[in-house]
């Protein structure tokens, strides 16, 4: 397909690379940030522009990959009748694009995407469309970059997936951050925890997290928990999280 990307940030960059790797053509990058637009355009063999009036009308699909609260402003005064136009936000209803075309939709990549990534990770895609044509086009685009993880999801399911994504990614990353700070303050090397972190994430491919649960909380080892809380005396933020999650683990059984 011929694709125009609106946006030049993390999502635009990684989706652009995935599209190109799947054999699609990126015709153009539109972005208010002209430096970022031309840099990404150079990488993807595309044109770039920061004028809405020069957005090409010849693409099959337009992907609006900008921050949630910028979608409305970025697409203001852009009219693409007959074209399929989709944004990439989990939490924004597809109707935000209904002024742009009658074939509007969503193309939500359920992954943490960063421009700096050197390898392209697996990216499950949840799509939605205002009509069958839009859904068919976006389904085909999704399957081209995510053969086994391209699924239709309405506004509600997408928001719920986003809640789950926050829990397994933003919150786990916060636990990593707190552990890194703790190690730093205690003179320990956080890097020594990386094999454990990776094993914990990778093993749930084959065993459910509930079945894989170990540790002092789940075995009600109150002596170890007591020692740990003592060791967390000078770390009130982590101590509070330790207490809350230990309690949650013990009620989850």
Give exposure, 142-168, as e/b (b: 16+ Cβ within 10 Å).
bbbbbeebbbebeeeebeebbeebeee
21 lies in the binding site for a second copy (CB under 8 A): no
Burial class, 124, CB count within 10 angstroms (exposed 0-12 / middle 13-18 / buried 19+): middle
Q: Using the rule CB under 8 A, is 22 a contact of a second copy? A: no
Judged by CB under 8 A, the stretch of 57-65, 100-108, 135-143, 207-215 that binds a second copy is 207-215
Q: For residues 77 and 67, give the distance between their C-alpha atoms in angstroms, rounded to a whole number.
A: 18
Give the one residue of 25, 34, 50, 200 binding a second copy; rule: CB under 8 A.
Answer: 200
Tokens of 240: 């509070």
Residue 190's alpha-carbon distances to 102, 106, 143, 194, 245, in angstroms, are 52, 39, 38, 7, 21
Give the span between the Cα atoms of 103 and 97, in whole angstroms. 9
Number of residues that bind a second copy (CB under 8 A): 88
**Among 76, 188, 220, 234, interactor with a second copy by CB under 8 A:** 188
The first and second tokens of residue 61, run together, are 């699909």
Taking residues 148 to 187 in sequence order and writing x for each that binds a second copy by CB under 8 A, - otherwise, the string is -x-x-----x-xxxxxxxxxxxxxxxxxxxxxxxxx--xx
Interacting residues with a second copy between 59 and 98 (CB under 8 A)? 68, 91
Q: Rounded to the nearest whole angstrom, what is the least distance from the CB of residue 119 to a second copy in the complex?
A: 9
Region binding a second copy by CB under 8 A among candidate stretches 18-26, 32-40, 130-138, 236-244: 236-244
CA distance between the termini of the chain: 49
Shortest distance in whole angstroms from residue 99 CB to a second copy: 21
Near a second copy by CB under 8 A: residue from 199, 220, 222, 234? 199
* Residue 226 binds to a second copy (criterion: CB under 8 A): no
Piece of the chain touching a second copy by CB under 8 A; list 21-29, 53-61, 94-102, 238-246: 238-246
Q: Which of 95, 213, 220, 222 binds a second copy (CB under 8 A)?
A: 213
In the list 54, 73, 136, 248, the residue contacting a second copy (rule: CB under 8 A) is 248
Q: Give one DSSP letter per residue of 127-193, joined into a string.
A: EEESSHHHHHHHHHHHHHH-TT-EEE--HHHHHHHHHHHIIIIIIHHHHHHHHHHHHHHHT--GGGG
Q: Supply the minimum distance, in Å, between the C-beta of residue 58 and a second copy.
A: 33
């Amino acid at each position: 397909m011929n694709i125009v990307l609106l946006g030049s940030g993390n999502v635009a960059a990684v989706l652009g690379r995935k599209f190109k790797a799947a054999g699609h053509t990126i015709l153009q990058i539109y972005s208010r940030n002209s430096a970022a637009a031309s840099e990404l355009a150079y990488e993807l063999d595309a044109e770039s522009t920061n004028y809405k009036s020069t957005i090409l009308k010849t693409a099959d699909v337009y992907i609006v990959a900008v921050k949630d609260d910028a979608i409305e402003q970025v697409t203001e005064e852009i009219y693409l009748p007959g074209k399929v136009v989709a944004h990439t936000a989990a939490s924004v209803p597809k109707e935000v694009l209904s002024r742009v075309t009658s074939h509007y939709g969503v193309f939500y990549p359920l992954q943490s995407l960063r421009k700096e990534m050197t390898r392209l990770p697996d990216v499950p895609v949840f799509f939605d469309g205002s009509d069958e044509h839009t859904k068919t086009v976006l389904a085909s685009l999704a399957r081209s970059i995510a053969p086994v993880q391209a699924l239709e999801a309405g506004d509600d399911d997408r928001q719920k997936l986003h809640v789950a994504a926050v829990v397994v990614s933003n919150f786990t990353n916060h636990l990593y951050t707190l552990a890194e700070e703790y190690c730093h303050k205690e003179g320990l090397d956080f890097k020594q925890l990386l094999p454990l972190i990776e094993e914990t994430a990778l093993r749930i491919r084959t065993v459910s997290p509930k079945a894989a649960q170990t540790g002092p909380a789940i075995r009600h080892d109150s002596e170890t928990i007591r020692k740990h809380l003592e060791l967390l005396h000078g770390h009130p933020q982590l101590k509070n999280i330790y207490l809350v999650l230990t309690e949650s683990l013990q009620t989850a059984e």
